[in-house]
Structure 1
Amino acid sequence: MPNTKPRVAIQGIRASFHEEAAFRYFGEDIDTVECNTFKETFEALKKGEADYVVMAIENSIAGSLLPNYTLLLNYNFPVVGEVYLPIQLHLMALPGVKFEDVKTAMSHPIAIRQCVDFFEGFPHIKVVESNDTAACAKRIRDEQLTDTVAIANTLAAKMYGLDILERRIESNKKNFTRFLILTTHENAGKVEPNKASLCFQVGNEVGALAKVLNILAEQNVNMSKIQSMPVLGKRNEYNFYVDVEWSEQKQYDNAIRQILKYTHNFNILGEYKRYEEVV
């Protein structure tokens, strides 16, 4: 019987926030393809080693992951979904380790940035940056580090057999990351979308971008995000990445038809269903 589990490429290792986001979108019955970098996740999709990519695109504290917008454009794989993941960060250590024994804490730099307030109260703890939250938990287990804690999620504590010493140490409890789901053009199923990610350039003259934004407003299409990125090697030229949402398909269709007159290098990066939190 053929393997029907979706193969999902993530940046990081098992039990990272990327895998947690993949579980939230696909369910837990997936084959996780671990990759060191975001570019490697796209390469895995390109080579047929994965069916999907789950990629972080923005965090409510750290902001947009700008290099990932460039990957979206360069590889041109369609966005077929999104997922928002609440980021809850815990301090974890080997069983039996007491908080007073801890000399070092390690995690991803963005996770560390989200826990600055907590560590201000413990100046003796040395905070060390690493490339992945879950990898820090794994290293503590593999090397049996008795004076070190990792900042990671509950999934990592469970997978690598660590005890949580302090829960929810992030400064902002309303911290979330948005992840995009990408696949190949052949694999993209038909859905009734109500959200799209667009990319385009406008002429360098007064009111050029305003024309596009006015069209969206006139057609009752909501712009939920706009991000500009300089076009490499071209002075005063920018790519605008825009997320739009609508309630009726014809609103979106009309808006796109009109926007095309005022833009160049127009790309629809993906049309998909807006993520709705299941309560």
Structure 2
Amino acid sequence: MINGTPRVAIQGIRASFHEEAAFRYFGEDIQTIECNSFKQTFEALKNGEADYVVMAIENSIAGSLLPNYSLLLNYNFPVIGEVYLPIQLHLMALPGVAFEDVKTAMSHPIAIRQCVDFFDDYPQIKVIESNDTAACAKRIRDEQLTDTVAIANTLAAKLYGLQILERRIESNKKNFTRFLILTTHDNAVKVEANKASLCFQVSNEVGSLAKVLNIFAENHINMSKIQSMPVLGRRNEYNFYVDIEWAAQNEYDTALRHILKYTQNFNILGEYKRYEEGVQTIADGQ
């Protein structure tokens, strides 16, 4: 940290949804470290250029961001928190541009996927994929593009001086993205956790995974997420990424002891507080 200000690495640039998620978790007194890729955010943390990483892991419409699960395992930085961010997507342009003048729309491919219903109604608009929502807004301002709109959030419109032509163009108004907060092992602070992210493998036999899931159920552990990923270069072998929640610490401890008998390459990716709307976890000592 610099003078107590957290350095937070994000994929994308300022005013992206990743920065909005960082603000929601840490507050706005942060130094944003802009990175071109998710891997670059982990490298920034590894090289001491950042104190934290904020990384999207799933979206309620587009689904899981599968490559990011591999980054979790490969870099082995602990997950210390999470943020659920409502995704509100707006169509924005230079001031004075009319909707009838628009020929092209730019945004991140996941954002575009979340707005397919809107663009089905306007087939004359060419949709172009880019690497970041906020970067599209910035490009419109920098290049003074008068026939192009960006799909981004209100932060981007405000920061880059654009006007919003159409609000809330996302297909599902209850759309949200879940972001994970990661840091180094040295920087991680022990908290009274009630959620964990795990990764493990099971044998390729009938009922192997069911045995693990039954142990969770028997110990009143709620499994809120399960994601499988093939183990690179190994036929019929999978990593299972699981998020679990609990009310009693002793039940969580008991469940872990028992599932160790039925798993291989077991990893605790992080133990942290489940996100609750309006609770700023960094202020609670994390």
Question: Is the structural similarity TM-score above 0.5?
Answer: yes
TM superposition outliers: structure 1 runs of 4+ over 3 Å:
none
What is the CA–CA distance in structure 1 between the aligned matches of 2:128 and 2:237, rounded to whole Å? Answer: 38
Aligned to 1:276: 276
Aligned to 1:27: 27
What is the CA–CA distance in structure 1 between the aligned matches of 2:37 and 2:123, rounded to whole Å? Answer: 32
Matched, 1:97 2:97: yes
Aligned to 1:258: 258
How many pairs align? 279
What is the CA–CA distance in structure 2 between the aligned matches of 1:2 and 1:49, rounded to whole Å? Answer: 11
Aligned to 1:66: 66
What is the CA–CA distance in structure 1 between the aligned matches of 2:159 and 2:192, rounded to whole Å? Answer: 37
Matched, 1:227 2:227: yes
1:278 CA drift (Å) = 2.1
What is the CA–CA distance in structure 2 between the aligned matches of 1:130 and 1:92, rounded to whole Å? Answer: 15
Aligned to 2:76: 76
Code of the residue aligned with 2:18 in structure 1: it is H
1:2 CA drift (Å) = 5.3
- Alignment map for 1:12-23 (pairs within 5 Å): 12-23=12-23
| Identity among equivalent pairs (%) | 86
Deviations, residues 225-257 of structure 1 (Å, cap 9, x unaligned): 000111010111110000000001001000000
Structure 2 unaligned residues grouped into runs of 5+: 280-286
Partner SS, residue 168 of structure 2: coil
Partner SS, residue 67 of structure 2: helix
What is the CA–CA distance in structure 2 between the aligned matches of 1:215 and 1:124, rounded to whole Å? Answer: 54
Partner SS, residue 198 of structure 1: strand
What is the CA–CA distance in structure 1 between the aligned matches of 2:278 and 2:24, rounded to whole Å? Answer: 10
Name the CA shift for 1:36/1:214 in 2 (closer, same or farther; >3 Å).
same
Structure 1 unaligned residues grouped into runs of 5+: none
- Alignment map for 1:31-46 (pairs within 5 Å): 31-46=31-46
Aligned to 1:111: 111
Deviations, residues 245-272 of structure 1 (Å, cap 9, x unaligned): 0001001000000010111100000000
Aligned to 1:199: 199
Aligned to 2:283: none
Partner SS, residue 70 of structure 1: helix
